[in-house]
Amino acid sequence: MLKKRLIPILLMKEFNLVKSIFFESYQSVGNPFEEVIRFSEWEVDELIYLNIDNIKKEKFFQRQDSVIREVGDEISLIKEVNKYCFMPLTWGGGIKSLKDIKSIIRHGADKVSLNTHAFKNYDLVTEACKIFGKQAIIVSIDIKKIDDQYMVFINGGKENTKKSLEDYLKFLNENPPGEILIQSIDEDGRSKGFDLNIINKSLKISKVPIIFCSGAGEYDHFVEAYKEGAQALAAANIWHYKELVDLNLKKILRLNNIHVRK
């Protein structure tokens, strides 16, 4: 039996880790170096870093006590993170070309996450799968409910593509990446639980493995989502505000007969 995966997501802006709410406002919660050390000590299953510096519309609240080391550029940041990262590492945000993917993987990432440029130019995904292997390529999908239908958004949640999640997943079945990451704009930062309807609908359509994200605030939210059929769940904010999340959450999942990794 395949074991369920738990994946922390770290959102970054200007080398700060940030808390996201509805893809519209961001608050600094720490720095990327300390967090990767903590997660390595916890032996989390995987780790996803998403660089949101290319998002321009947000309100950004800088913590006055934030002290972040200057690392120069994104590649320097990846190299620095890789020194402390002892689990599979996914890197996403603003990736536009095969050259970008090659550089990110060469400097320490195991996978890359493509969102806007995957939607605009799917040949990038197709070629990347051929060159780097499907296991290294994740297509990230940001969705928002419009008139009772989940619609795909790009450019940091600003632009409605007019394509439904259902249609996009069907397209990805015919042109599969290694994995899909689905994030709900409506549930982002709410801590009210995963949208189980998204999980149910997506699993009925997709032949590609899916990581579901957005909405987790309590351990029971993971139990509910896994019982709905999810194989992999990701979250951001809960990892910043609860101690020993990975250890405690896995204990609760095992008590609910949900098979998780070590």
Predicted confidence band of residue 54 (pLDDT cuts 50, 70, 90): low
Q: Determine what percent of the chain is predicted with pLDDT higher than 90.
A: 65
Predicted pLDDT of residue 43 = 81
CA–CA distances in Å: residue 17 to residues 23, 41, 142: 14, 19, 20
- Reduced to 3 states (helix: H, G, I; strand: E, B; else coil), residue 79 is helix
User: What is the Cα–Cα distance from 261 to 196, expressed in whole angstroms?
Assistant: 22
pLDDT in tens, 171-212: 999 999 999 999 999 999 889 999 999 999 999 999 999 999
Please say if the pLDDT value at position 159 is more than 90: yes
Predicted pLDDT of residue 228 = 97
Predicted confidence band of residue 70 (pLDDT cuts 50, 70, 90): low
Both structure tokens of 65: 């006590």
Please say if the pLDDT value at position 63 is more than 60: no
H helix runs in 45-154, sequence order: 74-82, 98-106, 116-120, 123-132
Task: Quickly tell me which residue has 């249609």 as its tokens.
Answer: 167
Please name which of 166, 124, 104 lies closest in space to residue 141, comparing C-alpha atoms. 166
What fold does the segment set 5-255 form as a domain?
A: TIM Barrel (3.20.20)
